[in-house]
Structure 1
Amino acid sequence: MGRKSKAWRINRKVGKFRAERRILLILILAAVAFAGWVWLKDHPEHNPYAPLDLRHPVGWATAQKLTALRDDLPTCRAVLERSNVAFAALPATGEGPCARPDRTQLSAYPLAPDTPAVTCTVAAALEMWRSKTVTPAAQEILGSDIARIEHLGAFNCRRMRGNNSSAWSQHATANAIDIAAFVLEDGRRISVLGDWEGDDDEARFLRRVRDGSCGVFSTVLSPDYNAAHADHFHFDQTARWSSVCR
């Protein structure tokens, strides 16, 4: 009888210990969850459910949010408005594979020789790329602000690689843009064709802005990809999130 009583007391203590341990574990998990919620609230760039604001840093959820804008024009333009980005919504144009129901033109972007109309999601990515990567890189590495960014065009109603059997290019709907050079406020011109090679400041700047673009564009192609891109960066916002970032 004594042995049973002793065993019962031991089992009771063990059961009580296990229950207390479970409660402690629940409290720890709750504390971790709360801390995580607070952290996400303070870092909306990492929170996939927080509304996108282009003034936020580039975070874990930024690419996903930008890609989602491809098929949601009203939400995309609401993002531009929320982020205080000036733009014009132009009338739809074109037909077939080159139809352009989304023509969004940034009003105060330093593109040259002009500012072409692109898809809204390309416009959003361009703005985030300029403010979060290009401007800081120019100031840090080259000691000057950006005066203008030279491009080779956005819209071109064509197939990829000029082959009539290939898929339609993202340029066919201006869902892409090719960037060729950067002109600084001190007058220097940094071109992809002339300054990509080497390890000087100009080359470091170009690699920094190429790498930074990979967090906001679906596809990034540079001279590291192939000879066809020796003189420009190709950026697009294809519906898939591509692993191509070269």
Structure 2
Amino acid sequence: MFIAGTAAMLHRFALLVLLAGLAACAQPAPRVMQAPPPVLDPDSACLAELQDMRVRFEPVAAFGDPEEGCGIDNPVKVSGTGGAWNRPGVVACPMARTIGRFENEVVQPAARARFGQGVKRVHHAGTYDCRVRRTSTKVAAALGGSRGGRLSEHSKGRAIDIMAFELDDGTMVSVKKDWRGQGAKSAFLQEVARASCSVFNVTLTPNHDRLHHDHLHLDIGPHTLCGY
């Protein structure tokens, strides 16, 4: 009797162990919590993009004048965005990135198609400049700018004025001399200006007004205008 009772107890114990094992198998696997993706600092991400695009630049400390409203939070000093610049210019990092895209996707392909060669140097008249917008009024013509007007996007490092493109063989394609001319140079400038409207927020050309008779104003400010 004792042996039989012991056997029954062992049998029941084995059943309990088996049921416990089955219950454990039926439980869903514990969820593995994944760490959230790292939050990238926008300025650092922009600088990394410039490096990937092979833009030649140096980071610059943020600067500004709260009283005048001028300044750049994430400035870079650029000496080239594919082709070299005739002189370094300080712009906001997103502007440098946009110029790099413009040169890679618009300027260089257009030059190779029109001239069979690339652009080795971009000639600009200015980037950062703490001033108000120039207008076509008589006051603006006399003063070089309209006092009391809206700040130019140059004052935020979000604009550049391009005067000419120098090809690999040294040939100059000048906005002032060639915009209204005939042939490949004029066609190139017209093509580049037209395409820039899809890259920048504002494009101003000699077609826009007499203040832009010798350059292309390109900016990434909050306003939109294709002055082609």
Same fold, TM-score > 0.5, yes or no: yes
Letter in 2 for 1:92: A
Per-residue deviation at 1:77? 2.8
In structure 2, what is the equivalent of residue 159 of structure 1?
Answer: 132
Q: Deviations over 1:170-202 (max 9, x none)?
A: 111221000000111112111000000133100
Q: Deviations over 1:5-28 (max 9, x none)?
A: xxxxxxxxxxxxxxxxxxxxxxxx
Q: Deviations over 1:91-113 (max 9, x none)?
A: 11231211222212335433433
Letter in 1 for 2:205: S
Higher strand fraction: Structure 1 or Structure 2? 2
Pair 1:179 & 2:162 matched = yes
Task: Give the number of aligned pairs.
Answer: 175
Q: Which moved more, 1:179-188 or 1:74-83?
A: 74-83
Describe how 1:84-99 pairs up with structure 2 within 5 A. 85-96=55-66, 97-99=69-71
In structure 1, what is the equivalent of residue 178 of structure 2?
Answer: 195
**RMSD across aligned positions (CA):** 2.0
- Tell me, in whole angstroms, the C-alpha distance in 2 between the residues paired with 1:245 and 1:75: 31
**3-state SS of paired residue (2:198):** coil
- Among the aligned pairs, what percent are the same residue? 31
Describe how 1:69-80 pairs up with structure 2 within 5 A. 72-80=42-50
Greater C-alpha radius of gyration: 2
Per-residue deviation at 1:114? 1.1
- Tell me, in whole angstroms, the C-alpha distance in 2 between the residues paired with 1:88 and 1:198: 37
Letter in 1 for 2:57: F
In structure 1, what is the equivalent of residue 100 of structure 2?
Answer: 127
Q: Structure 1 length normalisation: TM-score? A: 0.65
Describe how 1:47-58 pairs up with structure 2 within 5 A. none
**3-state SS of paired residue (2:59):** strand
Structure 2: 5+ residue runs without aligned partners? Answer: 1-41, 135-144
- Tell me, in whole angstroms, the C-alpha distance in 2 between the residues paired with 1:178 and 1:165: 22
**3-state SS of paired residue (1:210):** helix
Contact conserved, 2:53 with 2:100, CA < 8 A, in 1?
Answer: no
Higher helix fraction: Structure 1 or Structure 2? 1
Letter in 2 for 1:106: V
Contact conserved, 2:79 with 2:87, CA < 8 A, in 1?
Answer: no
Call closer, same or farther: CA 1:150–1:108 in 2, change over 3 Å. closer
Per-residue deviation at 1:85? 4.1
In structure 1, what is the equivalent of residue 22 of structure 2?
Answer: none
In structure 2, what is the equivalent of residue 244 of structure 1?
Answer: 226
